[in-house]
Structure 1
Amino acid sequence: MEDILRPIYQERASQSNTLGVLLIEKKQKLSHITDSFDVILLVIIKEADQPLFIKHYTYNNKKAAMHVLAETQLQEWLLLGTNRKIFEWIHDAKILFDRNEYVANLKTELREFPFNGRKIKMGVEFAKLIRRYVDGKALFESKQVLDAYNHVVHSLHHLARLAVIENGLHPELTVWQQVKQIEPEIYKLYEELVNSEETLEKRLELLFLASEFMIHSRTNIGTSHLLEVLSGKEYWFFNEMMNEKELIPYSVDLAVLLEYLIEKHLIDVINIETKGHGVFHRGYCVSKKLS
């Protein structure tokens, strides 16, 4: 298999822009990891006009896919967790080419999961958790029960991922299997939501109460990165936060997270005069109670 694909990956390996070439083979007959392909060739490159380029091949009645991935896209996936298969691909892959031990160092970094990387990922997961929780509660209060249920399932998933990261691990595709071992209380909440014989309204009501406690207990660790960045200035305008490099991963969830933190007295609002009488710019700063 590797011999057949060698001309394809050797051509890529010879290019100075290529950082690494990895081979991921399908382990089981029905494997979701390789998207039903027998082999995935993952080529990581330094720079590209297109962040992801994919080619499909056929050989000996088998299927192969080559994913040419820009380093910036890889780092975004690793940070935001928006393509969780990439963790398993890098973990399970055979290294075919590695320029200056780029892939070996990447594997080590993922395995050791440095604390600063964990802080950012916990912050992003916490923001997504708050977004789903707040939206779900609003839908529940307006009697949109099925839509509320959908948001609560997602909020529990973010809570589960947050717990896994907090324990120094990367959330895998089988995150509930991880959580069952690490945080059985969260797993039990999920089971009760899905399997309980109570009415859906009653299940959601109980879950909002339990989730509120779980979220409260993780607020400090979930907001550590955000508050650390915000403490670097006396106050911030919202647009400044949106364009701050370290806060860009929070993106669409940032406004909801800010309002939650204001409600919890972790962020203060500062009114700054404008030219309009009685109209103020809204600034944000870390609560003085925390300093």
Structure 2
Amino acid sequence: MEDILRPIYQERASQPNTIGVLIIEKKQKVFPTTDTFEAVLMIIVKEAEQPVFIKHYAYRDKKASMYTVTEAQLQEWLLLGSNRKIFDWLYNGKVMFDRNEYIANMRHELREFPFYGRKIKIGIEFSRLIRRYIDGKAFFDQLQYLDAYNHVVHSLHHLARLAVIENGFHPEVTVWQQVKQIEPEIYKLYEELVCSSETLEKRLELLFLASEFLIRSRTQIGSAHLLDVLHKKDHWSFNEMMEHKELIPYSVDLGILVEYLIEQKLIETVLMETKGQGLFHRYYRVTEKLS
């Protein structure tokens, strides 16, 4: 497909807005990296009206997909892990055009995985883990075992991704293969959940106990980024946290993470009077012993 797509990417490479072009060809018949297409052409641009623009092409019995992606969108995917295929594309795609070594530098940064970038990703993954664990536990307590199971599977997946990031790697599409090598204990938990002959209730009960220990043991590293940000002020309203540029990626999971850290005595509440009798504004700060 490379020869067929050449006129398209050569035209794009000649435009000053284009900073990189990659081709990713399908390696295995059923592997999901290219979404069943024979090839994906990825055009990275400085800016565009749409952060992602996708076109599909057909040539005889083959098909290809072209992604035009802004630099900002690419950085968001890498930070949030919301498009896991992107790591494979950047690692393994064939570079057809690379303005000022943009792709080469990005590949180097991905391999190095700077500690600060890791810290943010750990925080985001930990907040998602807490959300799934708490929601799953609530369903379990209501005897809604299938809904609880769904949340536990997701929480284990976030725990697995967290373990991979902790060890200095980016979670890939085949995250469980990574975890099997890096954190076999988490892999075993996942196996027990999906393969055990015990009743679903018993499996969930055991998983919640084991997960609680693993989550608690990661609370310090999982909350480090958030606590670092909160250290910058004496106290915060929740809206101030939501609007802080470093905390925006936590999105809807920020609230439940803050409440969890209050339970763990890492964050404390500060009450301030309002005009209403007995009604207080609720603010948050890092627990004094941690300050």
Name the TM-score, length of structure 2 as normaliser.
0.98
Alignment match, 2:19: 19
Shift of residue 58, structure 1, vs aligned partner: 1.4
Alignment match, 1:187: 187
Shift of residue 274, structure 1, vs aligned partner: 1.4
* Equivalent position SS for 1:235: coil
Shift of residue 64, structure 1, vs aligned partner: 1.1
- Residue 17 of structure 2 aligns to which amino acid in structure 1? N
Shift of residue 49, structure 1, vs aligned partner: 1.2
Shift of residue 31, structure 1, vs aligned partner: 2.6
Name the TM-score, length of structure 1 as normaliser.
0.98
Alignment match, 1:33: 33
Q: Does residue 96 of structure 1 match 2:100?
A: no
* CA–CA distance in structure 2, aligned partners of residues 101 and 273 of structure 1: 56
Shift of residue 112, structure 1, vs aligned partner: 0.9
Q: Does residue 231 of structure 1 match 2:231?
A: yes
Alignment match, 2:177: 177
Shift of residue 277, structure 1, vs aligned partner: 1.7
Q: Does residue 268 of structure 1 match 2:276?
A: no
Alignment match, 1:140: 140
- Residue 222 of structure 2 aligns to which amino acid in structure 1? G
* Equivalent position SS for 1:246: coil
Describe the superposition over 1:69-113 as per-residue Cα deviations: whole angstroms up to 9, x where unpaired. Answer: 011111111011111000000000111111111111111111111
* CA–CA distance in structure 2, aligned partners of residues 266 and 156 of structure 1: 24
Shift of residue 61, structure 1, vs aligned partner: 2.5
* CA–CA distance in structure 2, aligned partners of residues 275 and 16 of structure 1: 58
Shift of residue 62, structure 1, vs aligned partner: 1.5
* Equivalent position SS for 1:33: helix
Shift of residue 226, structure 1, vs aligned partner: 0.5
Comparing 57-66 and 170-179, the one that deviates more? 57-66
- Residue 150 of structure 1 aligns to which amino acid in structure 2? N
Describe the superposition over 1:35-90 as per-residue Cα deviations: whole angstroms up to 9, x where unpaired. Answer: 11111100011111111101111124321111000111111110111110000000
Alignment match, 2:167: 167
Shift of residue 156, structure 1, vs aligned partner: 0.4
Q: Does residue 256 of structure 1 match 2:256?
A: yes
Alignment match, 1:74: 74
Unaligned runs of 5+ in 2: none
CA RMSD of aligned residues (A): 0.9
After TM superposition, what 4+ stretches of structure 1 lie above 2 angstroms from structure 2?
1-4
Shift of residue 3, structure 1, vs aligned partner: 2.6
Q: Give the number of equivalent residue pairs.
A: 291
Shift of residue 2, structure 1, vs aligned partner: 2.3
Describe the superposition over 1:209-228 as per-residue Cα deviations: whole angstroms up to 9, x where unpaired. Answer: 11010001101111110100
- Residue 268 of structure 1 aligns to which amino acid in structure 2? E
* Equivalent position SS for 1:47: coil
